[in-house]
Every structure is written in C-alpha cells, then in structure tokens.
Structure 1
Amino acid sequence: MAEPLKNKIFQILEVQDDGHPLSKPVEYLLAGLILLSLVLVSLESVQSLNAKYDRGFMWAELVIMAIFSVEYVLRIWIAPLAQPALSPFRARLRYVLSFQGLIDLVAIAPTWVALFWGGTDLTWIRALRLLRILKLNHYSNAIDDLVAAIRSESSAFIAALYLLAICLFLSSTLIYLTESEAQQDAFASIPDAMWWSIITLTTVGYGDVSPITPIGKLLGALTAIMGVCTVALLTGIVANAFAKQVDRRKAIFEAEIKEALSDGIISQEEQRDLESLQSRYNISDDEFRAMVELLRQKH
C-alpha cells in the first residue's frame, strides 16, 4: 500500500504538468499559502494590528506551518522517485541539502524554533519567514531561468562586473582625494566614499552626500555617466542571455515536434510529452499550435 500511495503523492507534488488530477489544485493551494503567509508576516510587523489580532496571526501561522511541514516530510519521502538512480538514503539527502530543500526547511524552521524556544527574538523569526517566497520556485522556473541565462553568458557578465568594480574603486578613491578636506564627515575614508560611488554608479542618487568642490562635481558627473553605461551593459547582457535561452528552448521544442511528426501523427503519449515540455519552457498554447501546424505543412 505504501508504494502506490508514494507514487500518487509524487504525481501530485512533483509532476504538475501531466500528473495526478489533484496536482494543479495542490500547486495553487501551496502557492496561495505562500503568498498569504508573506502578507501575514508583513501585517504582523504593524504593531497596532499585531496587538489587536495577535491570536489570529498565531493560529494562521500554525496552520500554514503545519501544512508546509507535512509537505516537507512528504517531499523527503518521495525523493527516491525523483532520483531513481540513487539509493533512497542518498536521494533523500540530496533533496534535503539542495537549494529547494533548504528553502523548504527554512520555511518551517523559524516557527518551530519560536514554539520550542519561547524567548527567541521574533523580529528575525519574521524576517526568516519572508524567505518563503523562494518556495514559489517549486511552481515557477523564474529563478532557474535567471541563473541559467547568467551562466550561459558568464564570461561577459563577469567582465561587466569587473568593469563596474574598477569604476567603483576608481571613483571612490578620486572623490576621497578631492572631497575629504572639504567634507571630512562625508568622505572621511575611501570606504565612506564608496557609499557615494555605489549610489551614483547605480543611478539611485539619494542626495544625502554630494561633492561640493569643482573637481568633485566633475568626478560626480563622470561617475554618473560611467554608472549608466555599466548598468546598461549588465542589463543588456542579461536580456540577451534570456533571448538566446528562449531561442534555444524553441529550437529544442521544435525538434521534439519534428520527432513526434516523423510518422505523420502525434500519439497521445507524444502529445503528453510535448505538453509537459511546453509547460516547462513556458510556451503559449497559440505558439504551440502554430508551430505544430507549420511543421505539419512542411512535413
């Protein structure tokens, strides 16, 4: 009985695209609880609301934490099905030590700590609970897509960061040399000057610290221009990496459609595989149908 139940839970929690009929409702429920938890954590920080609805916040958190705890235990239990090549122990250990496993643990650990150690500072407990937003990675590939895009253009990205670091240290040193005598409090050291350089290079410009000498103002203008260029360069690299990744995914998806159409028809199993890949690659239904129709005409 345990194995069929384990397979069913695996289909619900891990195979959202073409798994168990409950997979989507459970996915929406857990994602909704994550968002609700974040809203409650934010509202708890309002002292007037926390004083008035303290028990309500507590019970809501306990219910959410209990559900996430059950989910965490179940994911450990079904981990061998996701990693069939590994032994059950190693598969479970890999999940527990994985990024997503650690996030799932952090999502419940703060509340458990607060329950067993009542004197614990609740401020950092609330702060850690905000990390639950990363649990949404179970249901969205956004973070994975970002990491993959940056990794694919890692050389260019590192070069741009290197250029940004040069601009940061150069502008910090020069502004310190030109402004330290005129503004000893604001530019008392190079690390102090780095604050001004960072907000200027990133085009934030709080205005709490600014150069007053003619040379300092000139350096400020040059730093702002360098900041626009370097930030635009980083943005362009990431945008280009995303575009390339989308093109690669479409090429892979198109190749899978061609393979499925090699015999002239798409079987039910091939259709399920394509729909699963479509969901994973975030390809719209209209785009999917258009690609199939176009390839059918070519075929």
Structure 2
Amino acid sequence: MNKIAKNSSYTLRKKIHMILERETHSRFAEFVHYALMTLILMTVIAVILESDDDIYQRHEFLFLILEIVSLTVFTVEYILRVWSSGEVKKYNSFKGRIRYMLTPMALIDLMAVLPVLFGFFVNRDLMVLRGFRLVRVFKLTRYSRSMNLLIAVLRQESANIFSAFFVLSILIIIAATGMHYVEGDSQPNDFGTIPKSIWWATVTLTTVGYGDVVPLSPLGKVFGIVILMSGIGMAALPAGILASGFTKEINRRKEKFKNKVMRYLADGVLDKKELQRLRISAHNLAISNLEMKTTIREVQSLQLKITELKCPHCHQAVEIEHYSDHIRVKRVKDSPKNP
C-alpha cells in the first residue's frame, strides 16, 4: 500500500516536472506554457505603463489585481519547480534542492516574486520595487526558443566576443588619449582629461556619432577620421561573431536532430512514440515542423537497406547493404588463374 502511494506521489511530481520543464507537449502542458508566457508579458507591460503616474492613478485597481494574480501564480510556480526538481538525480535531496535554488533560472524565478512580497510586507509603494519587477522578462528565456538559442550562442562564443570587446576597449583608450593631447587645450571641457575624452572615443568607435562633442582643430579632425575608419571594422566584429555563432549553433542542432532521427530509424520503423519524442526534440532545438519533416524524409531516403542477390558464378546468396533504392552492379572480370 505504501509502495502504491509512493508511486502515485512520484507520478504526480514527474508530471509536474514534465509540464514545467517542457518535456511533454500535451494540451494541458501547452496551455500552462502559453498562459505563463502571457502573464509574464502582461506584468512587464504593466510595469512599463505604471511609470506614467496618470495611467497608474486611473487604473491602480487593475494594476493591483494583476499583480496579486501574477504574484500568486509565480509563487506557486516557484514552489512547484523546487519540489519537482527532485526528478533530476543531482537535485534529489535536500542539498540538491538548495543547489537547484541557486541555479540562475531559479534565482530569476525567486527575484520575480521577492520585490512584490517585500512591498506588501512593508506596505510602501516604492518605485524601485515596482521597476525591479522587470526582472520577470528574463523568465521568458525559459519559454522562448529564440532566447534559448541566443543564450547558447553567447555561451559558446563568449571567448571570441570578450576578445573583440577587449580589443575595442584598448582602441577606445588609445583614441581617448590621443584626442586628449590633440584637443585638450582648445576644448578643456570636452577633452581636458582622458576620462572626458572616453565619451567621444566610445561614440566614434562604435559608429554612433551623436555629434555633441567634435574635434575642431585640423589635426584633431584627421585623428578623428583615422579613429572613425578603425571603428567601422571593430563595430562590425561582434556582430560578425554572433552571426557566425548563430549559423554554427543552428547547424549543430540540425545535425543533432538528424542523428536522433537516424537512431530511431535504425530498425526501419518510426512508431508514434518515437515520432512524439522527435517532435519534442525538434521543439527544444528550435527546429520548425517543416524542417523536422524534411529531415525525417531525408533520413528515410538514406536509410540503410539490405538487398539479397545471387552471385552469377557460384549462385550463392549475397547480401548488399546500401542507402539508395537504386543498385548498380558492375560486372567484375574473373581474375586470372594461377598456373
């Protein structure tokens, strides 16, 4: 009896874990997913609108109702996530739960409710606390495949991006130092010190060019042109790294999905359970339904086949492994007999 109760409790926790962690695509799971996404967007929009005092005063009651509902939902979601994290082996203990609570996404979930709870307890309407609720926008990284893709690219290309920004920082310091010595005497308010010149150097090297601070001397203008030409390439470098990273990550995910399709098609049959797993995998890898179907058809066309033929000489059965429906058999000349 205890075993049955234990299995029942485990099944409930497993179901909650699968729903919250997007390991199932049932109708109820999809409803929970999109409901949480909608609520996050509504609360973020509400925080933005609350910054206008007129709008906030006219609809204060609606904002309060929305905040109470979102606070309740996000608190329950956080508790359920901590409880159901026990389905993962490394979190299946008290210390494991603590480790889960210290993960970045769990901390974001906690910070999404703490400021509001603090505001309710101290009974003060602090603008800082209201603005701090914008941290909820980071919860979208759990529900948005595009955000997950961006995070994966940033994680993989972090070293290259850091190197690009490091070189850009060095150029900014060099440009600020040079402009300070060239324009410092004629424009002490803008270029009198190197820290003051850093603003101009940053705006110029990033090709923004606000125009609020400009060199006036001929030497300063020539130096500014050199710095501006250098900034064109440096400003495009991080964008190029990200674009290349996106391409590599998308190709890597496609290859990973293709390998999974080939593994499921090893027996030549793709049953409903395997197809459902492939759909979940495609969704998690940000692969569209069209791309998924195209990959499955491609793998099916390349599926390893075995054809049995008979040798025309010895008349013995010969098995030929091939990946195409078309078999081309070349006639091999008999080897010369030994004398």
**Partner residue of 1:3 out of 7, 10, 35:** 10
The whole-number CA distance in structure 2 between the counterparts of 1:51 and 1:156 is 48
Letter in 1 for 2:123: G
| RMSD over equivalenced CA pairs, Å | 1.8
Question: Alpha-carbon deviations, 1:147-201, whole Å to 9, x = none?
Answer: 4323433443333222211211100111111111111111231111111111111
Partner of 1:62 in structure 2?
Answer: 68
Counterpart pick for 1:226 among 206, 227, 230: 230
- CA distance in structure 2 between the partners assigned to 1:87 and 1:152 by the alignment: 29
The answer on 1:251 being equivalent to 2:255 is: yes
**Larger RCO (alpha carbons 8 Å, 6+ apart):** 1
Residue 20 (structure 1) shift: 4.3
The equivalent of 1:189 in structure 2 is: 193
| Aligned twin of 1:109 | 114
Query: 2: CA distance between counterparts of 1:285 and 1:221?
Result: 50
**1:264 paired residue among 257, 265, 268:** 268
Partner of residue 301, structure 2 = 297
What are the equivalent positions in structure 2 for 1:1-299 lying under 5 Å apart?
2-16=9-23, 18-81=24-87, 83-119=88-124, 122-299=126-303
Identify if the C-alpha distance between structure 1 residues 161 and 60 changes in structure 2 by more than 3 Å, giving closer, same or farther: same
Distance 1:242 1:39, change over 3 A: same
Q: Deviations over 1:67-97 (max 9, x none)?
A: 111111111111111x224432133212211
Identity of aligned residues (%): 33
Contact 1:202 1:227 in 2 (8 A): yes
Q: Distance in 2 between matches of 1:85 and 1:39?
A: 37
> 2 CA distance for matches of 1:126 and 1:85?
35
State the shift of 1:108 in Å: 0.7
User: Match of 1:15, SS?
Assistant: coil
Q: Distance in 2 between matches of 1:48 and 1:15?
A: 40
CA distance in 1, matches of 2:170, 2:90: 46
Q: Which residue identity does 1:185 align to in structure 2? A: N
Deviates more, 1:173-182 or 1:219-228: 219-228
Residue segments in structure 2 that go unaligned for 5+ positions in a row: 1-7, 304-339
2:30 partner SS? helix
Conservation of the 8 A alpha-carbon contact between 1:12 and 1:23: yes
Q: 1: distance between equivalents of 2:47 and 2:94?
A: 35
SS at match of 2:27: coil
TM-score, normalised relative to structure 2: 0.82
User: Within 1, Cα distance between the matches of 2:103 and 2:146?
Assistant: 17
Distance 1:153 1:42 in 2: 32
In the alignment, the residues of structure 2 paired with residue 285 and residue 87 of structure 1 have an alpha-carbon distance, to the nearest angstrom, of: 35
Q: Please tell me whether the aligned partners of residues 91 and 99 of structure 2 are also in contact (alpha carbons under 8 angstroms).
A: no
**Structure of larger gyration radius:** 2
Higher deviation after alignment, 195-204 or 145-154: 145-154
Alignment partners' CA distance in 1, 2:156 and 2:46? 38
One-letter amino acid of the counterpart of residue 186, structure 2:
A
The code of the aligned residue for 1:251 comes to E
Q: Distance in 2 between matches of 1:125 and 1:155?
A: 35
In structure 1, list runs of 5 or more residues that go unmatched.
none
Q: Offset of 1:110 from its aligned partner?
A: 1.0
> 1:8 offset after TM fit, Å?
2.6
Aligned partners of 1:155, 1:34: CA distance in 2, in Å? 32
